[in-house]
Amino acid sequence: GENVEQHPSTLSVQEGDSAVIKCTYSDSASNYFPWYKQELGKGPQLIIDIRSNVGEKKDQRIAVTLNKTAKHFSLHITETQPEDSAVYFCAAAFSGSARQLTFGSGTQLTVLP
């Protein structure tokens, strides 16, 4: 089955700096890669996703890049703000009729004011 590794496990940045979280996956058949943000006491929130037919996707201050050859994808957050502090999870799936995501282990991002 699929295996997703996520790094780093914790990340502290100064407000206004950029943050990068990286994930690698093992199953070359995976073609859907979402990122979730989980704030304390809440469920995971889908913040951006990318499919294997594109290499990069942006949404305001967040972007995701995908390298299918190397089987890794990354989340980039620019101009970080304290409200970006949360746990971020990457995931991978083969977008068949029954989607079952394999999640990374999570990254605790802390944005220092």
Partner 1 sequence: SAVISQKPSRDICQRGTSLTIQCQVDSQVTMMFWYRQQPGQSLTLIATANQGSEATYESGFVIDKFPISRPNLTFSTLTVSNMSPEDSSIYLCSVDRGQYNEQFFGPGTRLTVL
Residue 59: CB minimum distance to partner 1, A: 13
Binding mask 53-82 for partner 1 (x = CB under 8 A): ------------------------------
- Residue number, 40 or 70, with CB nearest to partner 1: 40
- Residue number, 1 or 113, with CB nearest to partner 1: 1
Q: Taking every pair of C-alpha atoms in the chain, what is the biggest distance, in angstroms?
A: 44
- Annotate the chain with DSSP letters as a single string: ---EEEE-SEEEEETTS-EEEEEEES-TT--EEEEEEE-TTS--EEEEEEETT-SEEEETTEEEEEETTTTEEEEEE-S--GGG-EEEEEEEB--SSS--PEE---EEEEEE-
Binding mask 4-43 for partner 1 (x = CB under 8 A): ----------------------------x-x-x----xxx
For residue 89, state whether it binds partner 1 (rule: CB under 8 A).
yes
Q: What is the binding site for partner 1 (CB under 8 A)?
A: 32, 34, 36, 41-46, 49, 51, 89, 95, 98-101, 103-106
